[in-house]
Amino acid sequence: MSEVVVTRTIPEAAVAVLREVAEVRVCDQDRPLTPDELHAAVRGADGVVAMLHDRIDAELVDAAGENLKVVANVAVGYDNVDVPAVTGRGVAVTNTPGVLTDATADLAFGLLLSVTRRLGEGERLLRSRTPWNFHLGFMLGTGLQGKTLGVVGLGDIGQAVARRARAFGMHIAYTGRRRAAQEIEAELDARYLSHDELLRTADVLSLHCPLTDDTRHLIDDAALAAMKPTAILVNTSRGPVVDEKALARALAEGQIAGAALDVFEQEPQVEPGLLELDNVAIAPHLGSATTETRTAMAELAARNVAAVLAGQPPLTPVTA
């Protein structure tokens, strides 16, 4: 019988899908595996269900051996996978698009509201038992109505965030490698702008692009200097899209007004300068963190593995 290795615990419903087609071995440690541990764990496996912190490359394929047929990444992003190296060895790579769109968009907008309405700051004040009293100038934030949301990457999640922004009365502008379909632009009344023009235009800049060589540190000192001093940066994509040290400097010096971050360059570490600032709302990579969404992600990964082991095409393949 085939063997599938799961590199970290996943919902039992997904494990049940795998058990229908293979013997399943779940690595139940409460931390990411080291590279050596990962390579030892996958030895002899026909399929691997991997997490976004697992490096999937030629070395892993070598460690697994000739039986390996599929690696299912439990994430929509796959910057942890050397796709050409793995697929070039005849191993299928899959991801989990679609199922986490709404959860991530909800989280992005929740973080945006937290920083613009100073919710985290207010909670910290109350929990510290600092005396306070209501008056008309107390902890003023800023509204979103009539402001422009700039979306970097108008894919499924970017569109979902834009729809939520429209419900708040915001205008939509976006940039990306290509223009969105006309019907999407029409639905969102979205303007396509160059990257530089979007930086100058957006009141809120929300990042929804994959991490690639081109997008690493897309938001750096120069980009932050080009933004409005009243602008808010939101990142729920991948941490290294933003130069965190540059962002901490820009926020401390008032180059931009605030930031809302769910992802970080060196997870689980966070740039210390960001932790000192009240104009930053942060969360520990919670974009897909609902019971329903994480279960759906794991089940989709499991169905991908099951399909490949049954000699069928994967449901959501990633190609080089």
Q: Is pLDDT at 262 greater than 90 in this prediction?
A: yes
* Contact present, 105 and 157 (Cβ < 8 Å): yes
| pLDDT tens digit sequence for 227-248 | 999 999 999 999 999 999 999 9
Does the annotation mark 135 as catalytic? no
Does the annotation mark 285 as catalytic? yes
Per-residue pLDDT band at 279 (split at 50, 70, 90):
very high
Active-site residue (options: 238, 244, 265, 294) = 238
Active-site residue (options: 37, 185, 187, 267) = 267
Q: Is pLDDT at 79 greater than 90 in this prediction?
A: yes
Residue 305 to residues 52, 94, 100, 263, Cα–Cα distance (Å): 16, 9, 19, 27
DSSP string, 6-48: ESS---HHHHHHHHTTEEEEE---SSPPPHHHHHHHTTT-SEE
Residue with structure tokens 């941490």? 239
Strand partners, 151: 174, 206
Does the annotation mark 265 as catalytic? no
Residue with structure tokens 């000739």? 66
Strand partners, 148: 171
Q: Which domains does the chain have, with CATH numbers?
A: 2-97+291-318 (3.40.50.720), 101-282 (3.40.50.720)
171-176: average pLDDT: 98
Per-residue pLDDT band at 283 (split at 50, 70, 90):
very high
Per-residue model confidence (pLDDT) at position 4: 98
Element (DSSP H or E) covering residue 2 = strand 2-6
Give the span between the Cα atoms of 248 and 210, in whole angstroms: 22
Angle at 16 between CA 10 and CA 17, to 5 degrees: 95
Active-site residue (options: 8, 164, 285, 303) = 285
Q: Is pLDDT at 151 greater than 90 in this prediction?
A: yes
Tell me the whole-structure pTM to 2 decimals: 0.95
**Exposure string for 8-28, b = 16+ CB within 10 A, e = fewer:** bebeeebbebbeebbebbbbe
Per-residue model confidence (pLDDT) at position 1: 87
Give the span between the Cα atoms of 86 and 264, in whole angstroms: 26
Counting Cβ atoms within 10 Å, is residue 31 exposed (0-12), middle (13-18) or buried (19+)? exposed
Four-residue CA torsion sign, 79, 42, 84, 105: negative
